[in-house]
Structure 1
Amino acid sequence: MLLPFVVSFDSLVNKEYSDATDTTSHNALFSLWRKYGVLVHGSNEIFLQVKKIRNQTLRKRWLEALTYFRTQCQDKIDDSILSKSIDELMLYKDIADTIIIDDTEAIRVFKFPHDKEHLQLGENGIELCRMKCINASNAFRKAEQDAYGLVKKNESIESLWKRRFELITKNSNIITVVDRYCLENHFKDGDQSALLNFMNYINKTTTLRVLNIYTGHKHRDNEKAILSDIHKLADSISKGSYVNVNEINLFVIKDADFRFRADCHARYLQFINHNAGIAKINTYLIDLGLAIFKGKKADSTSDIKYVDDCKHVNVAIEKLRVLAKEQQTAFTLIR
């Protein structure tokens, strides 16, 4: 769902981009990057590199993209792609899935045939893609398929996590779960609890600042039953030793059937990278919600859809947060 990619900045800063035709491919990359990509770069001075792009409009768009889209600095690479041999570029496979190079340099330096959109370096190796043909990139097409594809029945949860959720989790510090049934299912599923499985995968993958969970409870007005279940969940979490999850906030909604139907009927996973006051958000609608992580293999087929405009989801989450505060059913389980 999240594709790591590298851009040859040394070819971008040396080119004159004179008109809209030249910059269309960059706009296509920005669209793909916002939804499915994380730019992997080797220099903390990447903003200084981008400021060297001569076309003013394009330079501004790149600076905005670096500010608001996902990026990752890797010491193992540098951004001077044009000086690398094919063998050296093949070593980038462990870091990124595709390298994007300017169209002219693709032909001049890497001897692309004029009718070739991209090259695969070795069997299962990294992709070299011409900027002009970014929409034809096999790597980005696969990322798009994962962002909208099915979780198939009997699919291994381990491989599902690695293929779709591991990288975006590593690139996030806040995760939000919106699932009316995840608390109820936790007690029903016992050792196969999807909620605890999900937390285990997070714990093995990254250090997470905050996990927010919005869920319902089958008892509408039974305060004692609700508090009893919260204590049981807190006990399960404490036994699990989730040392890499710094804070878990649980928002339990009473009268959940009515409230979720009215405010947030669907189930969502939201991955947020929040730094310096800027939130980079990827939201996914998942038919079965957190239940896709139950046990070791998927119980049922479930659809996953990337939510392009998540404003309505954010509004619904805020309504649920306020409601849980009003109902006095908002709890912090780890801090």
Structure 2
Amino acid sequence: MINDFHFSHEFLGCDSLKVSVVNDAILDGWLNYGCLVAPKSKLADYREWLSLQDAKSYQKWITAFSHNLMRDMTGDYQPISELTQLNECFDYIDSHNILTLLINQGEMNTLNLQDGRQERNASEVVNINNFSDSQCFRESKNLENKSIAAGENIEDVWNERFASIADKTKAITIIDRYFSANMEEDIGKGRTTSLEKFIDFLSTKGKRYSITIYSVGYDKDSDRHNAIINYIDITLSKKISYRAAISHIEINSCDDGLFQSLAHDRFIQFDRFTIELGLGMSIFRSYPLNTCTFSFYRADKNPIFATTLASLSKRRKWCYGIKED
């Protein structure tokens, strides 16, 4: 869903960025589907080359550098203008786990890039004027409203739709009316819960997350409340994957009537990105997958999640949290 891409600082001085349709297409792709991989130590150089653009374009890029997803490029940084062979480019981006390398017209001529784009395995080198031909960005865009098909493998679904955004996330917020009911049922029948499976996936990322969940957990000290709390305290929190992946977890209960009127949709929010799931967290339960609607978008494009969260957070029946060391 999120495509890691790169361009060197000299890229920002090219004339093609003076063409608004080219400039805006790249910025839109970065905003909605991309994560720029660039060395923090060289950001001053990136901004210096931006000064070659007109004032309007310059401001758009400065906003993007402060607002859009970025990942620090660790290890050696090398301007693409210093490379003369395409295989050198592919070796370079592969070493940094980057899928897409954007180059300017001068770099394309030096590298003798045919037809404005070339791929090797899963990665690609794309000329600035051929940005619309980027297969990686196109695949990300195609997934933003593509339903999950019945019978899909949940590991494949995670790797294709969730893994890349989980890499760039610290806080996850889940709104799912039926999460607590499904969890209570799975606990009672000794099945792996959706939360445990979700945490198992997160634990592969080598980082820790804060998870906040809103669902129908009935009243405090109800059977459902006690089942969930005891399960987290006695079972889940002792799992290796939990200890590796969770820094804080919070479960909140709200009245079912509130979900009926204000929070019927089910969401998983990854920092600044929202995923709407027709089946919610139940896709991670121990059942074959059924067809599930899926939408992915930046949170600021649609206020429905923020509005729903604000309404639920004001009317909680109980709240349970654990903060790990």
Same fold (TM over 0.5): yes
- Quickly say closer, same or farther: Cα 1:2–1:100, change in 2 above 3 A: same
**Structure 2 counterparts to residues 12-27 of structure 1, below 5 A:** 12-13=12-13, 15-16=14-15, 19=18, 22-27=19-24
Higher helix share: 2
Question: In 2, distance between residues paired with 1:39 and 1:233?
Answer: 40
Could you tell me which residue of structure 2 aligns to residue 225 of structure 1? 223
More off after superposition, 201-210 vs 65-74:
201-210
Question: In 1, distance between residues paired with 2:165 and 2:220?
Answer: 38
Could you tell me which residue of structure 1 aligns to residue 303 of structure 2? 311
Q: Is the 8 A contact 2:9 2:49 kept in 1?
A: no
**Structure 2 counterparts to residues 1-335 of structure 1, below 5 A:** 1-13=1-13, 15-16=14-15, 19=18, 22-53=19-50, 54-55=52-53, 56-84=55-83, 85-91=85-91, 92-93=93-94, 95-102=97-104, 104-113=105-114, 116-120=115-119, 122=120, 124-189=121-186, 190-217=190-217, 219=218, 223-234=221-232, 235-241=234-240, 242-243=242-243, 244-254=245-255, 256=256, 258-272=257-271, 281-295=272-286, 298-308=288-298, 309-324=301-316, 327=317, 329-335=318-324
Question: In 2, distance between residues paired with 1:43 and 1:83?
Answer: 20
Amino acid aligned to 1:229 = A
Give aligned-pair identity as a percent. 19
SS of alignment partner, residue 150 of structure 1: coil
Amino acid aligned to 2:155 = E
Shift of 1:79: 5.0
Question: For 1:141-188, what per-residue CA distance to the aligned partner results, in whole angstroms no more than 9, with x for missing partners?
Answer: 111122322222232222222222122111110011111111111122
SS of alignment partner, residue 49 of structure 2: coil
* Equivalent residues, number: 311
Shift of 1:226: 4.1
Shift of 1:68: 0.7
Question: In 2, distance between residues paired with 1:41 and 1:130?
Answer: 18
SS of alignment partner, residue 144 of structure 2: helix
Question: In 1, distance between residues paired with 2:73 and 2:288?
Answer: 34
Q: TM-score, normalised by structure 2?
A: 0.87
Q: Is the 8 A contact 1:5 1:96 kept in 2?
A: yes
Question: In 2, distance between residues paired with 1:18 and 1:268?
Answer: 36
Q: Is the 8 A contact 2:16 2:23 kept in 1?
A: no
Amino acid aligned to 1:202 = L
Q: Is the 8 A contact 1:4 1:39 kept in 2?
A: yes
Aligned CA-pair RMSD: 2.2
Q: Is the 8 A contact 1:151 1:302 kept in 2?
A: yes
Q: What residue ranges of structure 2 are gaps of 5+ in the alignment?
A: none
More off after superposition, 68-77 vs 225-234:
225-234
